[in-house]
Amino acid sequence: MTSVDTRDNPLLTDAPLPAFDRIEPSDVVPAIHAILQAAQTRLEQLETQLEPTWAGLLRPLAELDVLFERSWGAVSHLFGVKNSDALRSAYEEVLGDVVAFGLRVSQSEPIYAALKSLKQSAEWERLCEAQQRIVDAKLLTADLAGVGLADEQRQRFNAAEQRLSQLSTDFSNHVLDATKAFEILIEDAQQVDGFPPSLLQLCSQSYNQEHGQPEDGQTKHGDEHPQSTPETGPWRITLDLPCYGPFLQHCRDRRLREQVYRAFITRASDGDLNNSQIIGEILRLRQEKAELLGYETFAATSLAKKMAPDVDAVDTMFHSLRTASWDAAVQDMRDVQTLAEDTGETEPLQHWDLPFWSERLREQRFDYTDEQIRPYFALDRVLQGMFDLVKHLFAVTVTAADGDAPVWHDDVRFFHVHDDNGNHLSSFYLDPFSRPENKRGGAWMNDCLARRADQTDLQRPVAHLVCNGTPPVGDKPSLMTFREVETLFHEFGHGLQHLLTRVDYPDAAGINGVEWDAVELPSQFMENWCYHKPTLLGMTAHYETGEPLPEELFDKICAARTYRAGTQMLRQLQFGMTDMELHHRFDLAGDEDPFAVQRRISRDTSVLPALDADRSLCSFQHIFAGGYAAGYYSYKWAEVLSADAFSAFEEAGLDDPQAVQETGIRFRDTVLGLGGGRHPMQVFRDFRGRDPQPDALLRHNGLGQP
Ligand code: ZN
């Protein structure tokens, strides 16, 4: 390899902030190679002269991370917000090496041994809580990766890991292929009667992509087909969620709905794409891994690195949420059945009827459209409202600082955060608008720089807030839907934990080191303020008339929040309970197969139990091909925490500004300030004065109240 001049590479400067305006795709490979080489050399040095002390081991390890922070961190960020073919190929060229280096560090045997001796040394007691948590987390990661196993066991462990990785890829591919393999073509316009324009458009487009006459006159399947238009068809129905969901809500033909529903719940359950065997093998290998690591079940290994103390605690949460939701779900069922009967339906409703009739009931009760809401939510006004809120809650001031930092696009804003004494605490970028040509969809918060402090130096935290809102058009400002407002508050909540951290060590500062099932606490907590009338109305002003959001629309937004809350809750519980059951109590050699387990649980979690034919486990990617195995409960766990945290403000009195601020400061100094530096259960107790309780979540959802 020829040596490359990296002196002028903008990824390798020590400027305080990444040079986002100058980084080019061609900078990536030389910079990351240089960084990897330097890191490799330092790691080898470190491994040969290991000192089991904080200064001799953890500090140099943290310095390794610094190498990547401004370089690889910036590249990954641009990959999400300013992608291009050139950047993608550069990124892919180095990605494998970066990942491999990270694994090499976290699975290093000499480092593992040194961490263990540090724990047994006299210095251990002198380390602060955050430092001890950092060491413990590194040891746990290594333990769970099998680093501590003896040779023969380690071989079995690695073999299981490899096989599992293959199985989850197969699982995913089968779901993808099975989803693709299904279609229904509709030519009779009567059958799409009632479809909204967006669904007609989608089904027509899908038809043309698959069967239409392309420019070159060659149809994909070689046979002659007409070109579709949304008005005249033909229309193609698929099992892709953007089609499947609206289809079941709007298709008036009951038999067609049944056909599509049955296809959906049996995806990847027979023929070449059958995932049934794979499910069994995955469960067996996970159990084997857990036993090799000295745990009783796979669920126990999953919970070892989470906030929830054990399976019992998760079961207790499931039980109380289920009990409180059941009657409401029964009532939900009665409501739609009554509406269906009033409209002339004579048969009892089945699974494939529920989305359709719930949608009719929703329209009847509180229909509103995004287009009615948007004019009241101009981005600048919403931002100001959100910044006023955090000033009031947490005594911090957010000020625009555009121009203080190089940015990757003209729309990107930059802000500083100061405390009440005028101390600069942190800064953040906000990239608010969608740019389909080069920016990933969705919304996220990411750290740009972590807080790092010692006697001589302080690096202030810097965050990225990324949304995909509607850009301004002409002289119309950016106008947001309610969902976009909620999303902005959500991401800002994550951001606040990063921006207001008081932890000095990057591995535990902000969201770093926070257990996975507790990470959504600050984000969902902030969403609650969108349903607080004075806060929400205070940041609305019709962009033409200046009028605040009409109360009637606010009431509809609140009613929509709790619509069919019992049914929704039970549905999530069914996923979570099935996941936990399969990874904890399930006996592969027992009488029940995994599908029977799901059916048994559905009798407690669905007013209409799952059909015998239901094979939806075969497409449950969260737990068989994603990171949610024995972790699906986390969604509800975090909602319990965030609702309970918000209820501290309700108890203090939302109309009492001083009480709200006192509670806010306590939230800032515990949940936001301590980050990963203390166990999240302890942090929660510090804030709330007790363990989390599900009552507030149930109350906010209108559940479980007599
Ligand atoms: Zn989140």
What are 104-138's pLDDT values in tens digits? 999 899 999 999 999 999 999 999 999 999 999 99
- CA pair distance 99, 107, nearest whole angstrom: 12
- CA pair distance 160, 141, nearest whole angstrom: 17
CATH 1.10.274.10 corresponds to the domain 375-563+635-700: no
For residues 192 and 253, the answer to whether their CB atoms sit within 8 Å is: no
pLDDT in tens, 289-339: 999 999 999 999 999 999 999 999 999 999 999 999 999 999 999 999 999
Instruction: Judge whether 491 counts as a catalytic residue.
Output: yes
Q: 484, 486, 491, 520: which one is catalytic?
A: 491
Q: How far is the CA of 521 from the centre of ligand 1 (A)?
A: 8
Q: How far is the CA of 154 from the centre of ligand 1 (A)?
A: 35
- CA pair distance 621, 439, nearest whole angstrom: 25
* Average pLDDT value for the chain: 94
pLDDT in tens, 497-522: 999 999 999 999 999 999 999 999 99
User: How far from 308 is each of 322, 332, 345, 570, 592, CA to CA, in Å?
Assistant: 18, 31, 46, 20, 28
For residues 510 and 498, the answer to whether their CB atoms sit within 8 Å is: yes
Q: Check pLDDT > 60 for residue 405.
A: yes
pLDDT score, position 366: 86
Q: Check pLDDT > 70 for residue 3.
A: no
Taking the CA atoms of residue 609, residue 611, residue 612 and residue 614 in that order, the dihedral angle to the nearest 10 degrees is -110
pLDDT score, position 137: 97
**What's the CATH number of domain 10-148, 3.40.50.720, 3.20.20.70, 1.20.1050.40, 3.40.50.1860?**
1.20.1050.40
pLDDT score, position 1: 42
**CATH 1.20.1050.40 domain residues, the chain:** 10-148
Peptide bond into 355 cis (omega under 30): no
Q: How far is the CA of 622 from the centre of ligand 1 (A)?
A: 16
Q: How far is the CA of 43 from the centre of ligand 1 (A)?
A: 34
pLDDT score, position 45: 95
Query: Residue 261 is encoded by which pair of tokens?
Result: 């529903």
Q: How far is the CA of 427 from the centre of ligand 1 (A)?
A: 19
Query: Residue 48 is encoded by which pair of tokens?
Result: 């040969």
Query: From start to end of 187-312, where are the E strands?
Result: 235-237
pLDDT score, position 705: 63
- For domain 272-367+565-632, give the fold: Neurolysin; domain 3 (1.10.1370)
Q: How far is the CA of 483 from the centre of ligand 1 (A)?
A: 14
pLDDT band at 2 (very low <50, low <70, confident <90, very high): very low
- CA pair distance 361, 342, nearest whole angstrom: 12
- CA pair distance 161, 149, nearest whole angstrom: 14
Q: How far is the CA of 522 from the centre of ligand 1 (A)?
A: 9
What is the average pLDDT across 361-379? Answer: 91
- Return the percent helix, strand and coil in the chain, to nearest 5: 60, 5, 30
Q: How far is the CA of 390 from the centre of ligand 1 (A)?
A: 18
For residues 613 and 633, the answer to whether their CB atoms sit within 8 Å is: no
Q: How far is the CA of 518 from the centre of ligand 1 (A)?
A: 10
What is the average pLDDT across 165-172? Answer: 94
pLDDT score, position 542: 97
Contacts (Cβ under 8 Å, ≥6 apart) of 120: none
Q: How far is the CA of 395 from the centre of ligand 1 (A)?
A: 23
Strands 235-237 and 458-459: unpaired
pLDDT in tens, 61-82: 999 999 999 999 999 999 999 9
Listed range (156-165, 219-228, 479-488) with the worst mean pLDDT: 219-228
pLDDT score, position 604: 96
Query: Residue 688 is encoded by which pair of tokens?
Result: 């709330």
Query: What is the number of other CB atoms lying within 10 angstroms of the CB of residue 601?
Result: 23
Q: How far is the CA of 131 from the centre of ligand 1 (A)?
A: 26
pLDDT in tens, 670-679: 999 999 999 9
pLDDT band at 704 (very low <50, low <70, confident <90, very high): confident
Contacts (Cβ under 8 Å, ≥6 apart) of 552: none
Query: Residue 500 is encoded by which pair of tokens?
Result: 């207001």
pLDDT score, position 220: 55
pLDDT in tens, 586-636: 999 999 999 999 999 999 999 999 999 999 999 999 999 988 999 999 999
What is the average pLDDT across 50-56? Answer: 95
Q: How far is the CA of 528 from the centre of ligand 1 (A)?
A: 13
Q: How far is the CA of 284 from the centre of ligand 1 (A)?
A: 32
Q: How far is the CA of 520 from the centre of ligand 1 (A)?
A: 5
Total length of the chain: 706
pLDDT band at 642 (very low <50, low <70, confident <90, very high): very high
Q: Check pLDDT > 60 for residue 266.
A: yes
Q: How far is the CA of 435 from the centre of ligand 1 (A)?
A: 21
**CATH 1.10.1370.40 domain residues, the chain:** 375-563+635-700
% of residues, the chain, pLDDT over 70 = 97
pLDDT score, position 14: 83
Concatenated DSSP letters for 624-673? HTSS-TTTTTHHHHHHHHHHHHHHHHHHH-TT-HHHHHHHHHHHIIIIIH
Q: How far is the CA of 493 from the centre of ligand 1 (A)?
A: 8
Q: How far is the CA of 704 from the centre of ligand 1 (A)?
A: 26
Q: Check pLDDT > 70 for residue 221.
A: no
Q: Check pLDDT > 80 for residue 25.
A: yes
**CATH 1.10.1370.10 domain residues, the chain:** 272-367+565-632
pLDDT score, position 226: 77
Helix (H) or strand (E) holding 578: helix 565-584
pLDDT in tens, 580-589: 999 999 999 9
Q: How far is the CA of 494 from the centre of ligand 1 (A)?
A: 7
pLDDT band at 28 (very low <50, low <70, confident <90, very high): very high
